[in-house]
């Protein structure tokens, strides 16, 4: 029988169970004896818990270790279809909803237009209905194995309450997203800022797998950041840690949409650049490719400030890797062409060569996969809570 995680809190808190599950997730394929070595648990204890994980359909046996002297050992891996997660990405350009496996594969998805003229609760009501439609679409077998729902939103969100404090681009203030959706859907719902979900997803499934001390700089219509230490997302006192877009870099600069002058995002994000040059961002980059002076000036300045941002986050977090993500970086690679050289101009000597610049690996479904990673991360970190 699959484990009913939704109502089984007692079981969720079982430390060793989730510790082993989390190690299997990290190592992808691992044997019982390797797990025993890593955890300093006895082979018997590991065996018992693995049996439980296999019975609960969360772990499967896959082949054997190869080419080593001595006895061959059976390898274990996460059963991708042992449980499922619903991932939701709320964005002004549209709402994406997907059922995602425990290994980050999208198996079914739906979309919903984001109508900015509708009230927040109206939109959330439509979203709840759309989620139910998606669950009907995938069928009862999968529906029964849904652990929880993850929602990513580009704004300030309280944690763990999942209340939106502010999403300027949606005109949302004080919206109880988590409470509302949990009431409507009868699932546990996790809500967090989208930059965190991007970093989590790349750490679980993408290009940041090997880096547990890392930061993400996200450049899109605004600028956001996220940081991870020992594989744990850092949240700060009010879950606002990483709001680097509003670091003041020029007190005499132009006015940001936050009402203050010279924030980082006034130099690099698409909405601010568009406002300043009165051109769509695609046109700015097209003019840059044609080597037009005004566009070269704007893009070089954006690059400089992105370099400064990298240097500043390096000083604060001393990460092993910096993930550069977001539509501005992924759609317009010329923005980051020489960004390593640029940031090197500003990075303090002791930090030089101390970090890698990394780009995302997860493609077009990164929003929903990220939202599902938020759930999986919470689910796996129960083991850490119990230490
Ligand atoms: Zn600002």
Sequence spans of domains, the chain: 9-78, 84-199+365-385, 210-358
Summarize the confidence of residues 253-274 as an average pLDDT: 95
Summarize the confidence of residues 16-27 as an average pLDDT: 86
CATH number of 210-358: 3.30.420.40
- Residue 166, strand partner residues: 156, 173
Spacing, Cα 255 to ligand 1 middle (Å): 8
Rounded alpha-carbon distances, angstroms, from residue 64 to 28, 29, 74, 76, 150: 13, 10, 4, 9, 34
Q: Which residues does 288 contact at the CB level (< 8 Å), separation at least 6?
A: 295, 296, 298, 299, 334
Spacing, Cα 260 to ligand 1 middle (Å): 6
Whether the per-residue pLDDT at 181 is higher than 90: the answer is yes
Whole-number Å distance between alpha carbons of 131 and 286? 39
CB count, 10 Å around CB of 380?
20
Which pLDDT value is given to residue 269?
96
- Residue 88, strand partner residues: 97, 151
Say whether the peptide bond before residue 160 is cis (omega within 30 degrees of 0): yes
Whether the per-residue pLDDT at 71 is higher than 90: the answer is no
Name which CATH class applies to 9-78: mainly alpha
Spacing, Cα 254 to ligand 1 middle (Å): 10
pTM: 0.88
Q: Which residues does 358 contact at the CB level (< 8 Å), separation at least 6?
A: 202, 207, 208, 211, 321, 322, 323, 324
Which pLDDT band, with edges at 50, 70 and 90, does 14 fall under?
Answer: low
Instruction: Report, at the CATH architecture level, how domain 84-199+365-385 is classified.
Output: 2-Layer Sandwich (3.30)
Spacing, Cα 222 to ligand 1 middle (Å): 9
Which pLDDT value is given to residue 19?
84
Please indicate whether the domains covering 84-199+365-385 and 210-358 agree at the CATH topology level: yes
Whether the per-residue pLDDT at 13 is higher than 50: the answer is no
Whether the per-residue pLDDT at 36 is higher than 70: the answer is yes
Q: pLDDT per residue over 126-160, tens digit each?
A: 999 999 999 999 999 999 999 999 999 999 999 99
Spacing, Cα 205 to ligand 1 middle (Å): 32
Q: pLDDT per residue over 357-383, tens digit each?
A: 999 999 889 999 999 999 998 887 765
Spacing, Cα 59 to ligand 1 middle (Å): 46
Whole-number Å distance between alpha carbons of 223 and 334? 18
3-state SS, residue 301:
helix
Spacing, Cα 284 to ligand 1 middle (Å): 22
Whether the per-residue pLDDT at 7 is higher than 80: the answer is no
Q: pLDDT per residue over 74-112, tens digit each?
A: 999 999 899 999 999 999 889 999 999 999 999 999 999
Spacing, Cα 266 to ligand 1 middle (Å): 7
What's the mean pLDDT when you consider all of the chain? 91
Spacing, Cα 259 to ligand 1 middle (Å): 7
């Amino acid at each position: 029988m699959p484990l009913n995680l939704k109502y089984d809190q007692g079981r969720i808190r079982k430390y060793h169970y989730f510790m082993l599950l989390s190690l299997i997730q990290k190592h992808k394929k691992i044997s019982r004896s390797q797990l025993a070595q890593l955890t300093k648990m006895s082979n018997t204890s590991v065996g018992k818990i693995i049996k439980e994980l296999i019975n609960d359909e969360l772990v499967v046996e896959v082949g054997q270790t190869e080419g080593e002297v001595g006895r061959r050992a059976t390898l274990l891996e996460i059963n991708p279809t042992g449980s499922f997660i619903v991932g939701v990405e709320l964005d002004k350009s549209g709402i994406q909803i997907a059922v995602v496996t425990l290994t980050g594969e999208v198996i079914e998805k739906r979309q919903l237009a984001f109508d900015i003229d509708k009230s927040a609760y109206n939109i959330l009501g439509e979203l709840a209905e759309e989620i139910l439609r998606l669950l009907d679409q995938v069928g009862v077998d999968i529906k029964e194995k849904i652990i929880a729902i993850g929602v990513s939103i580009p704004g300030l969100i309280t944690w763990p309450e999942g209340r939106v404090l502010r999403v300027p681009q949606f005109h949302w203030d004080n919206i109880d997203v988590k409470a509302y959706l949990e009431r409507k859907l009868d699932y546990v719902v996790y809500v967090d800022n989208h930059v965190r979900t991007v970093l989590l997803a790349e750490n679980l499934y993408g290009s940041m797998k090997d880096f547990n001390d890392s930061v993400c700089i996200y450049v899109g219509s605004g600028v956001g950041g996220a940081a991870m230490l020992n594989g744990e997302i850092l949240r700060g006192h009010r879950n606002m840690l990483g709001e680097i877009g509003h670091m003041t870099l020029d007190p005499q600069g132009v006015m940001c949409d936050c009402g203050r002058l010279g924030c980082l995002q006034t130099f690099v994000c698409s909405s601010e650049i568009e406002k300043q040059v009165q051109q769509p961002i695609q046109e700015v980059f097209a003019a840059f490719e044609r080597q037009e002076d005004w566009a070269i000036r704007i893009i070089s300045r954006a690059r400089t400030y992105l370099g400064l941002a990298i240097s500043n986050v390096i000083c604060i977090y001393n990460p092993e890797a910096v993930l550069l993500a977001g539509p501005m970086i992924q759609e317009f690679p010329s923005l980051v062409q020489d960004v390593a050289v640029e940031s090197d101009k500003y990075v303090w000597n002791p930090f030089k060569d101390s970090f890698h610049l990394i780009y995302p690996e997860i493609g077009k479904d990164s929003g929903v996969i990220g939202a599902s990673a938020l759930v999986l991360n919470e689910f796996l970190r129960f083991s850490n809570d119990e230490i």
